[in-house]
C-alpha cells in the first residue's frame, strides 16, 4: 500500500523535516524533506534496519509528488539498494520545491541478503481469494480482503456480507492508514506493529473482533516502552479498549508514577477506579510489610529480654552455690 506523506509548507530554508513512514516489510523507514537555498526541494529515504549481521535489500521506489492548482505531478521510479553501509538514499533535487505539498511513496521488495522475505499480500489487487472490497466513503481509496477471514473474525462483517449481494464494505477515509496493518494481521503472514495501533483497535472494536483486541493487548504488553509518557499512552489505550491486563502491567511496573499520571490526565471512571484500587492495594501491602518489620523487632526485643533474664538467674544461682559446676 502506498504511503501518503504530507510536506510542510512553512519549513525554513535548509531545515530537514522528518516525515513519518513507519513499518514496511517489518523494517522501520523514515523520510526527510528539505527546501534548499536554491528553492529546490529534496526527498530522502532512510532504511533503519539495525541487524548486526550483514544485510542488504533492493527495493523499487515509486514516488509521486503532488501540489495544488496547476502544479504538475512529478513521477519517479527507481531501484535502490540499502545495506549496513548505505542506509540513506537521496532523490535528485527538484525545481520549485515549495509548490509540492504531498509525496505518495510505494516501496516494493525485489531481493535481499540476510533478511527474511515476508510474503505480504498485495491488498490493492483483486483476486479469487481477495474477493471483497473495502473502500473509503468518497471512493478515492480501496483495498481487497478475503471475505471468509473477515466473516470468521467479526460477527458484524459476517452479517453484513451475508445480507449484501455485492461484497463491499465502506469505511471512513481517515481509517485507511490503519487498514493495511489491520489486514496484514488478519491475513498471512499475520504481522502486527506499533504503527496506527489505536486506529487498528478502533476498527477491531467497531467490528466486534474481541480476539483481535486480546492479541494486540498481548503484543503491547510484550513490546511496551517505559517512562511516564509511554505509560500514559498505554493507559489511555487500555482505558479506551478496556484492556485490563495492559493496565495492570503498566501500573505494577510504574507504580511510583501513578499519582502524577492521575493528576495530569483525564481517564474514564473505569480506569480511575482501577488505578485507585491499585494504589490502595499497594498501600495495604506497604502497611503489612511495616507491621511485619515491627513484629520482628518486638520478637527480637523479647528474645533479648529472655536472654537477660536467663543470665541473671544463672548469676544468682552461682552466688548461692559456688560449687555447683565443680
| Host H or E run for residue 74 | strand 74-83
pLDDT at 307 over 80: no
Helices (H) and strands (E) in the chain, counts: 9, 11
pLDDT value at position 83? 94
CB 58 within 8 A of CB 80: yes
Cell 533479648 sits on residue: 304
CB 33 within 8 A of CB 19: yes
pLDDT value at position 3? 86
C-alpha cell at 182: 489491520
Q: How large a percentage of the chain has pLDDT more than 90?
A: 42
Find the mean pLDDT for residues 241-257: 86
pLDDT at 13 over 50: yes
pLDDT value at position 88? 96
Find the mean pLDDT for residues 275-294: 68
Find the mean pLDDT for residues 113-121: 76
Instruction: State the Cα–Cα distance between residues 192 and 215, nearest whole angstrom.
Output: 9
Which of 112, 146, 111 shows the shortest CA–CA distance to 126? 146
Instruction: State the Cα–Cα distance between residues 16 and 44, nearest whole angstrom.
Output: 10
C-alpha cell at 282: 499497594
Mean pLDDT, the chain, rounded, equals 84
pLDDT value at position 322? 47
Q: How large a percentage of the chain has pLDDT more than 70?
A: 85
The model's pTM is 0.62
C-alpha cell at 298: 518486638
Which residue ranges form the domains of the chain, and what is each CATH number? 3-113 (2.60.210.10)
Amino acid at each position: 500500500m502506498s504511503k501518503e506523506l504530507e510536506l510542510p509548507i512553512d519549513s525554513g530554508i535548509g531545515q530537514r523535516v522528518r516525515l513519518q513512514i513507519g513499518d514496511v516489510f517489518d523494517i522501520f523507514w523514515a523520510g526527510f524533506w528539505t527546501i534548499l537555498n536554491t528553492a529546490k526541494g529534496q526527498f530522502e529515504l532512510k532504511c533503519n534496519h539495525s541487524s548486526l549481521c550483514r544485510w542488504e535489500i533492493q527495493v523499487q521506489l515509486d514516488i509521486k509528488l503532488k501540489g495544488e492548482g496547476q502544479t504538475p505531478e512529478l513521477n519517479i521510479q527507481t531501484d535502490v539498494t540499502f545495506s549496513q553501509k548505505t542506509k540513506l538514499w537521496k532523490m535528485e533535487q527538484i525545481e520549485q520545491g515549495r509548490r509540492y505539498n504531498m509525496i505518495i511513496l510505494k516501496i516494493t521488495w525485489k531481493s535481499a541478503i540476510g533478511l527474511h522475505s515476508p510474503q505480504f499480500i498485495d491488498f490493492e489487487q483483486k483476486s479469487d481469494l481477495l474477493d471483497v472490497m473495502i473502500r473509503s466513503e468518497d471512493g478515492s481509496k480501496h483495498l481487497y480482503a478475503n471475505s471468509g477471514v473477515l466473516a470468521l473474525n467479526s460477527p458484524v462483517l459476517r452479517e453484513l456480507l451475508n445480507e449484501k449481494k455485492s461484497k463491499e464494505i465502506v469505511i471512513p477515509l481517515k481509517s485507511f492508514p490503519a487498514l493495511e496493518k489491520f489486514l496484514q494481521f488478519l491475513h498471512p503472514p499475520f504481522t502486527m506493529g506499533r504503527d496506527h495501533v489505536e486506529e487498528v483497535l478502533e476498527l477491531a472494536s467497531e467490528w466486534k473482533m474481541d480476539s483481535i483486541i486480546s492479541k494486540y493487548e498481548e503484543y503491547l504488553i510484550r513490546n511496551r516502552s517505559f517512562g511516564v509518557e509511554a505509560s500514559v499512552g498505554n493507559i489511555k489505550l487500555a482505558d479506551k479498549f478496556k484492556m485490563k491486563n495492559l493496565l495492570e502491567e503498566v501500573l505494577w511496573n510504574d507504580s511510583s508514577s501513578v499519582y502524577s499520571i492521575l493528576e495530569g490526565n483525564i481517564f474514564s471512571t473505569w480506569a480511575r477506579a482501577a488505578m485507585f484500587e491499585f494504589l490502595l492495594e499497594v498501600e495495604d501491602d506497604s502497611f503489612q510489610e511495616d507491621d511485619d518489620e515491627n513484629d520482628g523487632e518486638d520478637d527480637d526485643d523479647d528474645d533479648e529480654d529472655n536472654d537477660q533474664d536467663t543470665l541473671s538467674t544463672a548469676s544468682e544461682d552461682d552466688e548461692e552455690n559456688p560449687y555447683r559446676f565443680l
